[in-house]
Structure 1
Amino acid sequence: MQVDWEHLKYLNGFGNHFSSEDPRCPNSLPKDQNTPQVCPYGLYAEQLSGTAFTAPREANQRIWFYRILPAVLHEPFSSIKSELLTNRWDLSEPNPNQTRWKPFLIPSVDDEKKNFLDSLATVCGAGDPCSRHGASISIYACNSSMDNRAFCNADGDMLIVPQHGSLYITTECGRMLVKPQEICVIQQGIRFSVAVDQPSRGYVLEVFDNHFCLPSLGPIGANGLANPRDFETPAAWYEDRDCDFTVVHKYQGSLFQSLQNHSCFDVVAWHGNYAPYKYDLRKFVVINSVSVDHLDPSIFTVLTCPSSKPGTAIADFVIFPPRWSVQEHTFRPPYYHRNCMSEFMGLITGKYEAKEEGFQAGGATLHSCMTPHGPDADCFEKATKDELKPMRIAEGSLAFMFESSLSFALTTWSMTTCQRVDHDYFKCWSSLVKHFTGPK
């Protein structure tokens, strides 16, 4: 069946309890209960729990699937190797240096066919999925689709940030088209497959502890930042297809595969509040200073995964979109800084205001815990002499940051194998000079 991806229907809202049926099977959701003796259309009822059964009602997340065959119908798991995906942080030496990567390479389809899953490569991370604490950051650079193949991450939620090329994502809940300058979140345990129509590249943040939520607004009030109404969840869609199908399962940092004789995307209807979603970053409502000083980047937080320590995130997803800058008597770019958090930045499009030359779209930087960083020398000199009039900044640009309370370890792949490290990064500060005038 031909899919009109550009005109898919979505369910709007963040954290809502949704109910959805494929229109080909009206009244496929059971009435008044979750597990009738016989489900409509002869479907199987199956619950996917994203939190403990006993989690408080306001935090409880789960979804009921009504599917043609239950997920349990598959052959035993067998281990498969992944050279690029890892959570073995002990295999490389600690490295506190400021690190920058040139744009990660997308393989040519003539040289090597790689789909989304096969191209996932871990850049850095910390923690352990066995103890359900930690996070990792990966990139993908693919040129082909996951045909008759799905991925299920039992370790945590995945926040996917496309940078080049759209992703056509099929999930158990339905389908999403996710373009550059949009993001999607696919929660722990939900099966999905990614198709592409051109070479594609992007970033993936994986969290083991918790699920992503909207940050508290505090004194900002009821509105601003990412508004719940702008999040979109796929509507139910199923395929009843007999075929040789593989589900790849990520468990305790390792990959396993199971074979089955049918597509896993056979969910005819579902209801619950544990479903994947997408968000257009261009809808973000920017909050900023209108008097003096450069505010902390936390005011640009789209989503957060909280830790058990109040006010401290396992990971925040922060963006730096086009906006007005109007502060008086102020050095307007990001200030020089050392942080107890780890800061991984990527560039989706355009140029980043604090480093307009070396930081390129499709590349990345990592500034580790307590490692100093800030604007390069050219940015500093320009910003201290600019006329402080209202101006649009970051026009045509979109940068983001994964900020974490964890101290990230770099993988061997990211520092050597990929051959994308910019070893001259430190030189962007080398021409900074003294402006000290001494006592009068």
Structure 2
Amino acid sequence: MLNRIDLRGSVEDPRRLLPRAALDVSAATEQVRPTVEAVREHGAAAIREATHRFDGVQVERLRVPAEAIAAAEEALDPAVRAALLESIARARKVHLDQRRTEVTTVLSDGGTVTQRWLPVGRVGLYVPGGLAVYPSSVVMNVVPAQVAGVESIAVTSPPQKDTGLPNRNILAACALLGIDEVYAVGGAQAIAMFGYGYGDEAPGCAPVDMITGPGNVWVTAAKRLLRGVVGIDAEAGPTEIAILADDSADPRHVAADLISQAEHDPLAASVLVTPSPELIEAVEVEVAKQVAETRHNQRVTEALTGPQSAIVIVDDLEQGLKVVDAYGAEHLEIQTRDPRAVAERVRSAGAIFVGAWSPVSLGDYCAGSNHVLPTGGCARHSSGLSTQTFLRGVQLIEYSHDALREVADHVVALSDAEDLPAHGAAVKVRFSA
């Protein structure tokens, strides 16, 4: 079912040889530009028009009424409630430990630089609601923002055709987290709404300072357009799993984990990297068997047979490590002997799941880690969502008269070297009669 890529004996840079989903964000950007501009110019009316045109939903109220959020929580299945509360508790514990501390560096007597960490003032959090709905993504977006100290948090998620509201489990998750500003808006128009706000009807939506959360290509394209107007977390692409495994791995586990991510989307990527021909054969048998039994087998089959998914055959685990570092997976599982030692050698992954009992689906819900992670190889240079995403480093520079005098000649010398004499003059004037 999966394509095979044989890299044994290869000395080429594996990046150009590895599978990737075809995702033309640049083309999508031009397609969503009119929608984004319309929202900027016409506010709520443009948001409604785009929602009707793209989602087929006529939304009566863009902001979800408080009573609808409360009703969703009241109707929440007890098992789902317990699971969400456990997910929230674990995520909060992990993200609390990610908080930064203020540090003051003393450079001289009277000369200090203090690094402060200040939360973003207002954030807009996007929660997908297309092929699947993600109350777990409410948790993953809201918890780190709350832990960071963000004072104003708004959530948006696409309206469902039968209710005109976001999925009720998404609304219930918002209620459990104390979020009462929720919008029934999805797609590019939701990103534009957060970026520009609207005030042509009450209650309006104030512009945000940062937008986070995954979405489809249209959401990603709109985030690209709004970058600079607001901060964004990343340009998320389709979900990915890579598994680095040797012949000690259980083929049932490997197959199940590849399928679990393929379930998200036909463009989802599932990649197995292994030096073991025996494991490959066993995994292929298991994949065929398990796909036939899974509910979304058509979606899973399309993802597993697409060009973005493959079994990559390598000489050994050393080459395997080079391959997974080049791939930079959103989710990377290590299913080998001594998996912790192997995992600690990985340099590029959004999140690393160590050993047979740490599947990616654990991280999706209840590991305590965050599941909003870099995709498309961006893990080679970017991090996933965390408390730090919502914090800004601000330096306080405080020098006394004597501390400035100590370094004044150096400032003047460097300003002269750069032909910016007024810079030096701004120091010299402080010591002139």
Alignment TM class, shorter chain as reference: under 0.3
TM-score computed with the length of structure 1 as normaliser: 0.26
Larger radius of gyration: 2
TM-score (norm 2): 0.27
Greater helix content: 2
Greater fraction of residues in strand: 1
